[in-house]
Structure 1
Amino acid sequence: MTGVISLLPEGRPGLLAPLLSGAWLSGGSEDLARYLAEGGYAPLPAPDRLLDRIAAAGLRGRGGAGFPAAVKIRAVRDAPGPPVVVANGEEGEPGSVKDRWLLRHRPHMVLDGLRLAAAMTGAERGCVYLSDARAERAVRRALAERPPELHIDVVRTEHAYVAGEETAVVRRIDGGPALPTAKPPRPFESGVGGAPTLVANVETLARVALTHSRPEAADDVAGAHLLTLAGARGAAALVEVPVGTHLKVLADLCGHGRAEAVLMGGLFGGLHGAGWTDLPLDHESLTAAGGALGCGALYFLHPEDCPVAVAGEATAYLAAQSARQCGVCVSGTGALAGTLTSVARGTANHDTTDQLHRWSRQLPGRGACGLLDAAARIVATLLAHFPDRVDAHRGSACPACADPAPEDGRRFRVPMP
C-alpha cells in the first residue's frame, strides 16, 4: 500500500495530518499526552453550542448514507428516555480501511467524539462496536490511559458486510446476531436495550472531536473526507482530501491515471465510465451523476479491466454476504449475480439484458438493509455506462471474465497502511 496521504492545505486541521507532521505514535496508537496538547478532551460547557456548530458546518455522517450528523444527534436527544451512544467501527465494505485505521491509530480522538456525542444527547452509556482485533486492543489501551466520563463497553463482532448496519449493530450489542432488523423502529427511536440510540460512524465522531478542539475550522473539518483508493493495477492508499477534489486527482495520486472507470462508494455507489474524471468529491455532484460517495472507497478500472467482470464479482460477493433474512434479497442478489455470470460467459441474449434492466429498477428499497440496493445499483450503472461492453459479451466469452466470479470480494480488499 502507498500509505497514508493528506491533501489538505497546509495548516488545515485533519485526521491524518498530525501523523504526517511528526512521530507521535507509540506502539501504533496516538499518545494521550500529545492528543491533550492538541486540545483533545477539552471541557464542554455548552453542548448545544457544539451541536449548533456541527449543524452550521454541515457535517454529514461518514458511515455510508451521508445523513446530516446534527439531525441524527438531535433526534436521539429529543427522544423520550435515557439515550445510548455507539461508535460504529465495523467496516462491512471490503474496500474500506479508514475506520479500522482511526481505531488503531487515533482511538483517543474517536473516544473524545463519543464523549461529546454523549454530552450532546444526555447519554450516560456508550459503546465502541468493532470487529478488528488490533483496533480493539488500541481502544482498550486508550480507555485505560484515560478512564471515560461515562460507562463505555467495547463490543466485538464477526466481520460481515451487514454487521455495521445500524439495526444489526443494536441487535449485536443486545446479545443477538449482527443481522439487520425491519424498520421502523429505527435506533434513534428504540435501540440498545430499547433506549433511543445514536449509532455514529467513528470518522463522524472523530470529526466532532476535531470540530470541538478547532471551532474556527469547523467548515474545513466537516468538508474533508477520508478515502480508500485502490485498483487492480496501481497502488492503494488512505487519503484525506477536501470536498470538491476531482476524482482524476485521486486516480493520479496512486498511479491510476490510465483508469477508464471507477467503482464508487465501496460497492454501494455503482460503476461510472465516461466523464467520471470530471466528477468532484461532494455528495450532491455524485448523487446527480447517479452514484454515491458511500463509505469513501474508490476502485479504479484500467483499460485491461472488464467492467462486466468487476460487476460480476461485486454482485457475487454481495449475494454471498446476504443476511438471508429477506427472501427478496436472497433471490434478488442471487438472480443478479447468476445472470451477470451468464453475461460473462457469453450465453446472454437480449432477454437477459432486459431482465437485468427490470430487476435493477424493481429491487431497490425492498430489503431490510442496503445490500440489495447496492447490488441493483451496480447492475444499473453497468448497463447505463457500459452498454457496448455488455453487448460485446453476447455470443462470446470474455477472457477477462473467464474465471467464475469469486464470492470473497478479493478484488476489492485493501491492505492496511
Structure 2
Amino acid sequence: MTAHALDLGLQGTQRLLAARDSSLDEHLRTLGPVPAVALCELISITEQAGLTGRGGAGFPTARKLRAVGEGRRRPVVVGNAMEGEYLSDKDRTLLARSPHLVLDGLELLGRALHAKRLILATGERIDSGPVRSAVRARRAEIDVRDMTGGFLGGQESALVSQLNRRAPVPQDPHTPVYARGVDGRPTLVVNVETLAHLALLARFGPGWFRTQGTPDDPGTFLVTLSGALRPGVQEIARGTRLGALLDGAGADRTRLSGVLLGGYHGTWLPPQAFDVALSSTGLAAYGARTGAGIVHALDSTRCPLRVSADIVTYLARQTSGQCGPCINGMPRMADTLQRLARPGADPRLVAEVARLRGLITGRGACAHPDGSARFAMSALTAFSGHVDEHLGGECHATPAD
C-alpha cells in the first residue's frame, strides 16, 4: 500500500489537499474508489494509526467507532463541517478542494457501521454548493444540511439537537450522542478533516499514515493561519516546530507578542515558546493543544489584553444560557478582563480572573465555559509583563480597534 501512496505523490505532507481539482473524475483517476472495510478492521487500522479527531477535542477516533459500533440499532453518521471556531477556515477549504475525499470517508463509515443515514452538516460560513455537486456526481445517498448555531453549533450534542429540529444548544452530557442522537439512534459525529484522513487510511494503511508526525502524535493536520501572517490553510506534519511554520508564513518574530494556538478555546503562547513542537507531547508543557488547527499571530503593536478581553466578551455572548457559568460567570469574566485591559487597572483584578476560573471550570452543561476560562488564564500567563505594565498605568502597544 505504501508504494502506491508514494507513486501518487502522497509521500509528503500534502495528503488531504493534494488533489489537482475537485472533480470526481480526477479523484477516481488518482485514488480509485475507497475500499470497503469491515468495522473490526477499520477500528484496528485506525487504532494502529493513532488517528485522533481533527475537530478540536482530539479524541481517539477508534474509540468513537467502537462506542457506536456496540449499539444495537443501525446508527446515523454525521460529517461535521460546522466550523464554529471564528478563526478557522480548514473545513471550508477542504470541502472546496477535496470534497470527494470527505465523502469517501463518510461512505466508508456508513458501510462499516451499516448506517441508517449519512448526513453532512455545513455551518453558516461554508458554501455547501461544491459538496452538494460532488454528492450528485457520485449519486450518493448523503443528506447535506445547511445549519446555524454560531460558535457552539459544532459541539456534537448541539449539532445533533439541531438535526433533530430543536435549538442548537448542548444537551444532557449524561446521554452521549453515541447512545442516543439523531432520530434517537446511536450517532457518530466526525469532523470532515477526520473523514478525509480515514479515506486515505483505508487505502494506504497505518504504516503510511505514520510516515508523518511523531510516534505519539502521528499524521498530518490542517492549520489556518491568520493575524500577522500570510493568511491561508496549510497541511503540515504533527510535531512541526511552530517557529518554522511562522517563518514560512512570513512572520517577523521580533514583532510578535504571542501566538494563539487552537482557536478561541485555545492557548496563548509567548515568544519563548515559538520553537515548541506542534504535538501533544511538545505542547503539554504549556497546557496547550493543536485544537482545531488555528495559528493566529499577534503583532506587538496590538494590546494583547485588549484583544483577549474582546475575545472573551465574544465568547460570553456565544452561549446557550443553560447554566450558571454561562449566565453569570462568563459575563463577569469578560467584564473583569475588559477592566484589566485599561492601563491603571486595579491589581485585585488579576486574582479575580483566577477566582472566576475556579468557579466556572467543571460546572457548566458543556465544555464552553471551561475552554473560555482556560483561554482567559492563558492570556494572563503569556502576557504577564503586559499585565504589569497595565497595573503600573502604562500600555506599550496600540489598543486594538
Shared fold per TM-score greater than 0.5? yes
Q: Which residue matches 2:187?
A: 197
After TM superposition, list the pairs within 5 Å mapping 1:263-342 onto structure 2.
Answer: 263-342=260-339
Amino acid at match of 1:289: Y
How far off its partner does 1:38 sit?
A: 2.2
Q: Distance in 2 between matches of 1:40 and 1:79?
A: 31
Q: Distance in 1 between matches of 2:127 and 2:400?
A: 35
How far off its partner does 1:358 sit?
A: 1.5
Q: Which residue matches 1:218?
A: 209
Among candidates 93, 118, 129, match of residue 137 of structure 1: 129
Q: Distance in 1 between matches of 2:252 and 2:243?
A: 7
After TM superposition, list the pairs within 5 Å mapping 1:154-169 onto structure 2.
Answer: 154-169=144-159
How far off its partner does 1:135 sit?
A: 3.4
Among candidates 176, 179, 184, match of residue 186 of structure 1: 176
Among candidates 226, 230, 233, match of residue 226 of structure 2: 230
8 Å Cα contact 1:268-1:292 kept in structure 2: no
Say which is worse superposed, 176-185 or 281-290, in terms of deviation.
Answer: 281-290
Q: Which residue matches 1:62?
A: 54
8 Å Cα contact 1:13-1:220 kept in structure 2: no
Q: Distance in 2 between matches of 1:211 and 1:227?
A: 20
Q: Distance in 1 between matches of 2:349 and 2:168?
A: 35
Q: Which residue matches 2:12?
A: 12
Q: Distance in 2 between matches of 1:392 and 1:400?
A: 10
Question: Residues 17 and 175 from structure 1, CA distance in 2 versus in 1: closer, same or farther, beyond 3 angstroms?
Answer: closer
Question: Residues 401 and 367 from structure 1, CA distance in 2 versus in 1: closer, same or farther, beyond 3 angstroms?
Answer: farther
Question: Residues 324 and 146 from structure 1, CA distance in 2 versus in 1: closer, same or farther, beyond 3 angstroms?
Answer: same
8 Å Cα contact 1:262-1:276 kept in structure 2: no
What secondary structure sits across from 1:161 in the alignment? helix
Gaps of 5+ in 2: 1-8, 213-217
Q: Please state if 1:73 is matched with 2:83.
A: no
8 Å Cα contact 2:262-2:289 kept in structure 1: yes
Q: Which residue matches 1:353?
A: 350
How far off its partner does 1:94 sit?
A: 0.8
What secondary structure sits across from 1:163 in the alignment? helix
Question: Residues 376 and 45 from structure 1, CA distance in 2 versus in 1: closer, same or farther, beyond 3 angstroms?
Answer: closer
Q: Please give the per-residue CA displacement for 1:163-220, whole angstroms capped at 9, x wherever unaligned.
A: 0000011001111121111211111111111111000000000000011122251224
Question: Residues 62 and 134 from structure 1, CA distance in 2 versus in 1: closer, same or farther, beyond 3 angstroms?
Answer: closer
Q: Which residue matches 2:199?
A: 209
Among candidates 388, 392, 409, match of residue 389 of structure 2: 392
Amino acid at match of 1:242: A
Q: Distance in 1 between matches of 2:379 and 2:102?
A: 37
How far off its partner does 1:45 sit?
A: 4.8
Q: Please state if 1:112 is matched with 2:104.
A: yes
How far off its partner does 1:46 sit?
A: 3.4
Q: When the two structures are aligned, how many residues end up with a matched partner?
A: 385
How far off its partner does 1:343 sit?
A: 1.0
Q: Distance in 2 between matches of 1:134 and 1:389?
A: 37
Amino acid at match of 1:224: T
Q: Distance in 1 between matches of 2:69 and 2:186?
A: 8
Q: Please state if 1:170 is matched with 2:150.
A: no
Say which is worse superposed, 260-269 or 52-61, in terms of deviation.
Answer: 260-269
Q: Please state if 1:152 is matched with 2:152.
A: no
Q: Distance in 2 between matches of 1:34 and 1:76?
A: 33
Among candidates 28, 38, 42, match of residue 50 of structure 1: 42
Amino acid at match of 2:310: E
Q: Which residue matches 1:102?
A: 94
What secondary structure sits across from 1:268 in the alignment? coil
How far off its partner does 1:371 sit?
A: 2.0
8 Å Cα contact 2:13-2:237 kept in structure 1: no
Q: Distance in 1 between matches of 2:79 and 2:59?
A: 16
Q: Distance in 2 between matches of 1:132 and 1:353?
A: 36
8 Å Cα contact 1:345-1:402 kept in structure 2: no
Q: Please state if 1:252 is matched with 2:252.
A: no
8 Å Cα contact 1:167-1:179 kept in structure 2: yes
Relative contact order (alpha carbons < 8 A, sep ≥ 6): 1 or 2 greater?
Answer: 1
Question: Residues 402 and 217 from structure 1, CA distance in 2 versus in 1: closer, same or farther, beyond 3 angstroms?
Answer: closer
Q: Distance in 2 between matches of 1:294 and 1:389?
A: 26
Question: Residues 402 and 279 from structure 1, CA distance in 2 versus in 1: closer, same or farther, beyond 3 angstroms?
Answer: closer
How far off its partner does 1:322 sit?
A: 1.5
What secondary structure sits across from 1:393 in the alignment? helix
Gaps of 5+ in 1: 1-8, 405-417
Q: Distance in 1 between matches of 2:124 and 2:118?
A: 19
